[in-house]
Amino acid sequence: RAKEKGKDRYEMFSPVMKSQAESRWQLETGLRKAIQQQEFKLYYQPIISLRTHKIVGFEALIRWPSSDKGFISPGQFIPIAEETGLIVPLGEWILKEACCQMKQWHQQFPRNPPLLMSVNLSSRQFNQPDLLIQQIQNILKEMVDEKQRNSLKLEITESVMFNNVEGAIQLLHRLRALGLRLSIDDFGTGYSNLSYLHRFPIDTLKVDQSFVRRMHEENDNKYAQIVRTVVMLGHNLGLEVVAEGIETEEQMRSLLALNCEFGQGYFFAKPLPPCEATALLESDPQW
């Protein structure tokens, strides 16, 4: 009987679980090595004014071209970097790298207003406020002059922000005090208590791509109406609104008709490696 029981117990750890645990462990080990060996790259996706059809800034998006598995998506490895705490050194690298690129573009392509650079923050970074402020202060002191700070934007997802409202408001004020701009990312997908929204000292709402994608799917315009409402909400609170995931000209036109002034998506450009993003700026496209 004991033997049978032992066997049962062994089988409770099913082959699927075993392979999941193994691949997770592999990913974690790979991640550590990749941080040491600086295997990561930042790609940049342009953000466009839907009124002038020109580039107003970029969002930095991390890429991991791993030596053995090809490109691994941030959706896969950012959660593991968060759980293991590896997001702290990784997040620092991302911020430094994005600031460095921003400085270079400001020099090479001076504009008024200057090109913006948006950087995503993870929940773990956001939930260690003192560490985050310290990191950012160091990076700013080292590489970004006062005037340029206003061109650096941090993106925080709605769900992270609303997870701890009072803490978030405090931290956002501290980030603002450093001169940075702030966006709520993936707006509309969390469970926001809208009555708190006006208390967040933010600049921008980013409408989640799931709404934009469905704008023309339905005959009854349901999603277009949701987008219209989010844009109005943002404007009534004095915020800028960016639509994510624009893939067609039709979507772009509808968004402009709904009064949304900024957009981002494959219709304009995919996230690009630095040299291609620079070439795009050089060609000064107007969509």
Contact residues toward ligand C2E (CB under 6 A) are 45, 60-62, 73-75, 78, 94, 120-122, 155, 185-186, 209, 244-247, 264-266, 271
Q: What's the min distance (Å) between Cβ of 271 and ligand C2E?
A: 5
Residue number with CB closer to ligand C2E (120 or 204)? 120
Q: Which two tokens stand for residue 215?
A: 């704008």
Tell which positions 114-173 bind Mg ion, by CB under 5 A: 120, 155
Residues 158, 186, 203, 261: which binds Mg ion (CB under 5 A)? 186
The entry of Mg ion, ligand C2E, none near residue 73 (CB within 5 to 8 angstroms by kind) is ligand C2E
Cα-only R_g, the chain: 21
Which CB atom, from 122 or from 151, has the smaller least distance to ligand C2E? 122
Distances (CA, A) of 217 to 90, 260, 264: 38, 19, 19
Select 271 or 274, whichever has its Cβ closest to Mg ion.
271
Measured from the CB atom, is 34 or 61 closer to Mg ion? 61
How many residues appear in the chain?
287
Shortest gap between Cβ of 44 and ligand C2E (angstroms)? Answer: 10
Place of tokens 């750890």: 13
- Measured distance CA(162)–CA(152) in Å, rounded: 22
Q: In sequence order, which ranges of 87-197 are alpha helices (DSSP H)?
A: 87-108, 123-126, 129-143, 146-149, 158-163, 165-177, 194-197
Tokens 């061109």 found at: 151
Closest distance to Mg ion from the beta carbon of 68 (Å): 26
Task: Establish if 203 lies at the interface with Mg ion (CB under 5 A).
Answer: no
How far is 268 from 255, CA to CA, in rounded Å?
14
**Contacts with Mg ion in 16-45 (CB under 5 A)?**
none
Residue 151 interaction partner, one of Mg ion, ligand C2E, none, beta carbon < 5-8 Å per kind: none
Residue found by looking up tokens 């934009």 in the block: 212
Give which of 59, 15, 93 is closest to 265, Cα–Cα.
59
121 binds, among Mg ion, ligand C2E, none (CB under 5 to 8 A by kind): ligand C2E
User: Nearer to ligand C2E by C-beta: 122 or 135?
Assistant: 122
Nearest position to ligand C2E, beta carbon: 265
Tokens of 103: 């400085």
Give the nearest distance from C-beta 12 to ligand C2E in angstroms.
34
Pick 121 or 172: Cβ nearer ligand C2E: 121
62: partner contacted, choices ligand C2E, Mg ion, none (Cβ within 5-8 A by kind): ligand C2E
Closest CA to 157 of 197, 179, 190: 190
Please identify which residue in the block is written with the tokens 């160091």.
138
Cβ(233)–Cβ(226) below 8 Å: no
- Which residue lies nearer to ligand C2E by CB, 19 or 76? 76
70-72 vs 41-49, strand pairing mode: unpaired
Instruction: Summarize as ranges the residues that interact with Mg ion (CB under 5 A).
Output: 120, 155, 185-186, 244
